[in-house]
Structure 1
């Protein structure tokens, strides 16, 4: 019996390792979340938002999978779209063909109530990368949110408030307009920003962040295989009790190694409901 047990363990480990390198990075799932709050106005009831982060297009990306992701987003037909940062991999040389393709993908998303993006650290690796990212967002009518807020409405004066934290957190500008009577949805590339004292004391109802890719490889018992700057204290393997709900997406891309274990590749579909 012991031999059989060891054999089963070895086979399971082999399958997990095989999937980690050859299966998991190529697929993706849609994670569906309904946001229930009486503070959501009737004009935004049943409004949808697609959120994803850390595309890291380039070094370890699969163009076919990336195309499938954007096709799925188009099928979901969201009212709002938010990208959480890191459009291209940091060590990847972005070509004109890449820019044309990214323009086409992002422009194909309609999101009539607004398209938004945050900066990730890989969007700022050098001046050339920043210019490329800004040009793509300008071409595809995506507004960059960086230590700022935006009131989201739908043919009404009532709305919800987006608060976006920059990589260099400035709470004076990102939290000043928050009203506890409104539903406040905070976005941050770095999860650790959500632990800031001013953030935890702000009237935030829900927050979303990325960056760590769900630690990308999460071993049973041991947890994440490494810590990422900006996610060293808060990540999917090390959650904290906060005064507001939050969701840490495991994102789409890979860093340093093309592998995923217990960190599913995902896009997130939020539905607002005041019921």
Structure 2
């Protein structure tokens, strides 16, 4: 279905972009063929290059393919906006609101095409660069005074692949360790590909250091890439995987609850679904609860269960300003940043990496998230954003 939808977008782009171009018929057919081929980028990956989730091709090939596909998506968006504006102007002219008819000629087409190619190139660079650190301060009502200033670093959506290889993962690990975190949490989608293909790329994760431990939950992509094998591999790397369970994080004679749930796609593979009741079973009710859940969907259920802070990823922040509105609608209204959900706070990271199938970021930068926890008595203001 995905490939059919992409083909329909391709036909729309061809129909709106190609006919006005000032070139001969043969060139128009060639341009149309290239656009249709680019629209089927993921089908080509699936059939010939090792898989849609993780094509096993060199980095330059992935970056080049991602650049072309990104330009295709941006051009489709530009053409849609142009058509909407054209319809508005035509209606305004017919009703006498504007005296002259305005026509977008072939120069507009060329300009939109060049803009799409240029912005996609910038977007690919933004996607594959080493993320900057984003610091946020969060106040938890139940946090003991002794734990004020506790520092967590959240990594999410690393998507280790031929696009994000060992050198990139190593740089992320080094930047994370340089923050000297008390606790490191990884909220899913660590990998794309098999344990055989990705073992060298995820190896640097073994060097993550935090005095209170390194914990993780699964994302949807772990299930696409042989969940059972990856659970064994992650534990060999020293990652503590929380699947519908919790641990007590004890420090300075005080403690908090760190819980984790499985991902929502688990049921599609006959594996345990997210179960917040099981995850918090036996947890002390007077301690603050931090929950790792890959997807922000279903956060109201977690808030009702007594979670104080939920940490999620999955959305990649929407990746492109404008497209993020669609991502927000698909994720219960949550896409990026800090939200209030009942008595719970929800932080949705833009992601440290992203899926190599659309490696473009524009206005939605990747991040390594440094989260500093505070007690109410030592509140450090940070504007919350309500769910739209």
Asked if Structure 1 and Structure 2 have the same fold, meaning a TM-score greater than 0.5 normalized by the shorter chain, the answer is yes
- Whichever structure has more strand as a proportion of its residues is 1
Aligned to 1:247: 347
C-alpha distance in 2 between matches for 1:204 and 1:79: 20
C-alpha distance in 1 between matches for 2:284 and 2:306: 7
Matches within 5 A, 1:250-265: 250-255=350-355, 256-265=357-366
C-alpha distance in 2 between matches for 1:204 and 1:87: 24
Aligned length: 255
Aligned to 2:121: 18
C-alpha distance in 1 between matches for 2:283 and 2:191: 31
- Whichever structure has more helix as a proportion of its residues is 2
Q: 1:212 to 1:59 in 2, by over 3 A?
A: farther
SS of aligned partner of 1:192: coil
Q: 1:28 to 1:174 in 2, by over 3 A?
A: same
Matches within 5 A, 1:15-94: 16-37=119-140, 39-89=142-192, 92-94=193-195
1:218 to partner: Cα distance:
3.1
Q: Contact 1:84 / 1:188 at 8 angstroms: preserved in 2? A: yes
SS of aligned partner of 2:352: coil
Aligned to 1:113: 212
Q: Contact 1:215 / 1:227 at 8 angstroms: preserved in 2? A: yes
Aligned to 2:368: 267
Aligned to 2:235: 138
Q: 1:234 to 1:226 in 2, by over 3 A?
A: closer
1:213 and 2:319 matched: no
C-alpha distance in 1 between matches for 2:297 and 2:358: 23
Q: 1:179 to 1:62 in 2, by over 3 A?
A: same
C-alpha distance in 2 between matches for 1:273 and 1:66: 30
C-alpha distance in 2 between matches for 1:240 and 1:82: 19
1:159 and 2:255 matched: yes
Q: Contact 1:178 / 1:203 at 8 angstroms: preserved in 2? A: no
Q: 1:239 to 1:161 in 2, by over 3 A?
A: closer
Which protein is bigger by CA-based radius of gyration? 2
Normalised by the size of structure 2, how large is the TM-score?
Answer: 0.58
Q: 1:148 to 1:77 in 2, by over 3 A?
A: same
CA offsets, 1:90-120, max 9 Å, x none? xx34436x414423x1221221212111011
1:214 to partner: Cα distance:
1.3
C-alpha distance in 2 between matches for 1:165 and 1:135: 17
Aligned to 1:201: 304
C-alpha distance in 2 between matches for 1:62 and 1:102: 8
CA RMSD of aligned residues (A): 3.0
What 5-or-longer segments of structure 2 have no aligned partner? Answer: 1-107, 264-272, 379-388
Aligned to 1:150: 247
Q: Contact 1:51 / 1:84 at 8 angstroms: preserved in 2? A: yes
SS of aligned partner of 2:297: helix
